[in-house]
């Protein structure tokens, strides 16, 4: 174009005569792709729907989850442990299992949402409860309620000292965040390691910390599930 050689007024008039062409060019980037169009108009919600993986309905999604769990019960070690020997579950095993399920499109949030939509009741179960529910028919209970119920049973079964109760409160808080508690945690996790680890905390419980943790796990998985 000779636009740069023209006088200012003449150049202006020529540009104004081709405004539509420039509007069209603005929509394309140098690589040929269309640019993002930004509008000043207020957004309007036209449609809202939730995807459930390969299924279009909440029940389809939950059926697919149940099928996956039952099909892979003997193929995925951590999955088998959750259903048959949950007290042996480690934090690393649970993390790996979560990643495996995520890759298949089964997340705790989506599973809970699907259940809530089907039952019209809000549910916030952890992945352990969800797996056991659809594999062995365990009671569906929120993560928080599951932990609280187990800790309450433990407290009622013993006459704990104030110092012991303080440690149990820390264990309860840990379970709320991590879902799995076993003896190795006390020497691996900073929240306990910084306080002296297993050796020191064990002394507080009169060298019975291991049996206390085993008992707590009994209550955690006392959920009515049948053996897988």
Query: Is it the case that residue 119 has pLDDT exceeding 70?
Result: yes
Query: Is it the case that residue 27 has pLDDT exceeding 90?
Result: no
Q: What is the pLDDT of residues 158-172, one digit of tens each?
A: 999 999 999 999 999
Same domain, 152 and 132: no
Same domain, 129 and 63: yes
Residue 75 lies in a domain: yes
Query: Is it the case that residue 36 has pLDDT exceeding 50?
Result: no
Question: Which residue range forms the structural domain that includes residue 215?
Answer: 144-220
Residue 45, pLDDT score: 47
Residues 6+ apart with CB under 8 A from 95: none
Residue 224, pLDDT score: 82
Give the domain-ending residue among 143, 168, 188.
Answer: 143
Same domain, 149 and 209: yes
Query: Is it the case that residue 152 has pLDDT exceeding 80?
Result: yes
Q: How far apart are alpha carbons 127 and 130 in whole angstroms?
A: 5
Residue 148 lies in a domain: yes
Q: What is the pLDDT of residues 181-201, one digit of tens each?
A: 999 999 999 999 999 999 999
Number of other CB atoms surrounding residue 78 within 10 Å? 20
Give the domain-ending residue among 116, 143, 170.
Answer: 143
Q: How far apart are alpha carbons 93 and 114 in whole angstroms?
A: 25
Query: Is it the case that residue 28 has pLDDT exceeding 60?
Result: no
Residue 227 lies in a domain: no
How many domains in the chain? 2
Residue 200 lies in a domain: yes
The reported pTM is 0.72
Residue 79 lies in a domain: yes
Q: How far apart are alpha carbons 69 and 80 in whole angstroms?
A: 9
What's the mean pLDDT in 135-140?
93
Confidence at 121, pLDDT banded by 50, 70, 90: confident
Same domain, 188 and 212: yes
CA 184 to each of CA 127, 189, 190: distance values in angstroms, whole numbers, following the listed order = 22, 9, 12
Same domain, 91 and 151: no
Q: What is the pLDDT of residues 54-101, one digit of tens each?
A: 546 999 999 999 999 999 999 999 999 999 999 999 999 999 999 999
Q: How far apart are alpha carbons 87 and 56 in whole angstroms?
A: 36
């Amino acid at each position: 174009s000779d636009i740069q050689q023209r006088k200012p007024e003449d150049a202006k008039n020529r540009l104004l005569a081709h405004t539509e062409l420039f509007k069209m060019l603005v929509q394309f980037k140098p690589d040929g792709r269309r640019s993002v169009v930004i509008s000043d108009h207020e957004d309007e919600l036209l449609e809202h729907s939730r995807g459930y993986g390969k299924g279009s309905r909440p029940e389809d999604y939950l059926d697919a989850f149940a099928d996956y769990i039952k099909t892979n019960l003997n193929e995925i070690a951590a999955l088998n442990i959750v259903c048959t020997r949950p007290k042996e579950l480690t934090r690393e095993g649970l993390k790996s299992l979560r990643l495996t399920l995520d890759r298949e499109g089964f997340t705790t949030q989506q599973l809970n949402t699907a259940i809530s939509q089907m039952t019209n009741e809000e549910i916030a179960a952890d992945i352990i409860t969800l797996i056991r529910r659809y594999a062995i028919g365990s009671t569906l209970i929120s993560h928080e309620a599951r932990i609280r119920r187990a800790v309450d049973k433990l407290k009622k079964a013993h006459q704990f000292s104030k110092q012991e109760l303080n440690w149990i409160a820390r264990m309860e808080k840990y379970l709320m965040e991590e879902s799995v508690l076993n003896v190795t945690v006390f020497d691996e996790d900073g929240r306990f390691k910084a306080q002296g680890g297993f050796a020191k905390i064990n002394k507080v419980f009169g060298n019975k910390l291991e049996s206390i943790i085993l008992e707590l796990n009994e209550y955690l998985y006392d959920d009515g599930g049948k053996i897988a």
